[in-house]
Amino acid sequence: MANYLELYPWQIKAWERVVESLGRLPHAILFTGTEGIGKLRFATRLAVALLCEGEEKSPCGECRNCRLFSSGTHPDLHVLTSETKLESMDSVLVSYADRYLDDQSSRAKRKNPRSTIVIDQIRALIESANVKPHLSVNKVFVIDPVDSMTNAGANSLLKVLEEPAPNTFLVLIAQSTQNLLPTITSRCQKLLLPVPESEQIEQWLMQLKLRPQQISAIQQCGKGPIVGLQQLQNDEILRSTAFVSTVLKQLQRHKQRDLFELIELGIQLGEAECLDELLRLVSKLIREVAVVRERNQKGDTLLSEIALRTDQRKLFLIYDHIGLLRNQIRAGGLDKTLAVEDALIAIDNCVR
């Protein structure tokens, strides 16, 4: 089963209650709760449980329906979202949500991605809702965030809520009912999802092996742990990209490279992450040196230009060396700053 369906620890009790009533759920359920607490994952798990043909329906993770869900191709699961929300969605759900959005090229033409669920999406939903389930007994539509629907969209959705097709479930998600038409909320069973206690968040993040500074950054972001974690990961990706590109720019110079700048950036990134990035960089360089030699000329990238001036034999040696340094600092047996310095000096020595 895709990890994606795993519940967050603070959702377990709420899930037990939902499972108990699975056989008699109304056709429309509205999950509410603050940002970043995992509403979409909870709702998706319910959607898959409704499609699952396993006996426990928890969902089983093994039946045809569960496996198709994980591969992103279940024909009876439909996900409607906005273009902005899509950007932070897990990849398994993106394949479902994409079907209801404009194609990539039309989206690319817009200056900013749309933050609303538009009437065309609801029209497409109505069309799908009128078709019998293809594979499962049920057919499920997840709409997140339902309060980002345009008015026209909301009015169209009302029709589906008023005259539900048989074996069709709508699972709606919003932060609160505040911005929803009362005619919509009154036709749904509402369930407020729990906000985790700060201790629960801390324990969960510790299980993910995050560092104390990272945990407190997430705790303080004020947007719920899931959003906090995503932001942290995005920031770290940006910082890693910036670090690698600075290393490359320094290596491009023939002399007077500023290793102190790199060491400082590497430490800011976190020593272990820095060494991971350097390992990836060295392995890319090894490949690039081979490519440059085979072509007998350099390509037009910075990496290729550097590869031309790189001693390949030394590269293999420092790859092993940096790997060793990384393992040693992970095991706590080496001064971290020294390890970063050592790795950067080694790379500097390979490039003329």
Instruction: List residues binding Zn ion (CB under 5 A).
Output: 52, 54, 59-60, 63, 66
User: Least distance in Å: CB of 57 to Zn ion?
Assistant: 7
Shortest distance, CB of residue 169 to Zn ion, whole angstroms?
16
CB 76 to Zn ion: min, Å: 13
> Smaller CB distance to Zn ion: residue 66 or 269?
66
Cβ 62 to Zn ion, closest distance in Å?
Answer: 6
- 59 vs 224 by CB, closer to Zn ion: 59
Is the sign of the CA dihedral 47, 169, 79, 71 positive or negative?
A: positive
Residue 324 CB, nearest approach to Zn ion (Å): 45
DSSP labels, 51-120:
H--SSS-S--S-SHHHHHHHTT--TTEEEE--HHHHTTS-HHHHHHHHTTS--HHHHHHSSS---SB-HH
Residue 41 beta carbon to Zn ion: minimum distance, rounded to whole angstroms? 17
| Shortest reach from residue 81's CB to Zn ion, in Å | 24
Closer CB to Zn ion, residue 52 or residue 279? 52
Q: Which H or E run includes 170?
A: strand 168-174
313: which 2 tokens? 């034999």
Least separation in angstroms between CB 4 and Zn ion: 14
Q: State in angstroms the smallest separation of the CB of 77 from Zn ion.
A: 12
Q: Is 171 helix (H, G, I), strand (E, B) or coil?
A: strand
Residue with Cβ nearer Zn ion (53 or 276): 53
Nearer to Zn ion, 82 or 138 (CB): 138
Q: Which is nearer to Zn ion, 32 or 138 (CB)?
A: 138
Q: Which is nearer to Zn ion, 45 or 187 (CB)?
A: 45
DSSP element (H, E) containing 349? helix 336-350
Residue 127 structure tokens: 């069309």
Residue 54 or 164 having the CB closest to Zn ion:
54
Q: For Zn ion, which is the closer residue by CB, 64 or 330?
A: 64
- Rounded to 5 degrees, what angle do the CA atoms 45, 54, 40 make? 5
Written as one string, the DSSP assignment of 118-139 is -HHHHHHHHHHHTSPPSSSS-E
Taking the C-alpha atoms of residue 181 and residue 278, their distance in angstroms, rounded to an integer, is 53
Give the neighbor-by-neighbor strand order of the sheet with 168-174: 77-80, 139-143, 168-174, 28-32, 189-192
Main-chain phi, psi angles of 176, to 5 degrees = -150, 175
Q: Find the length of the chain.
A: 352
Q: Which residue has the tokens 């929300």?
A: 85
Q: How many whole angstroms separate alpha carbon 195 and alpha carbon 201?
A: 10
Report H helices in 296-332.
Answer: 302-307, 312-330
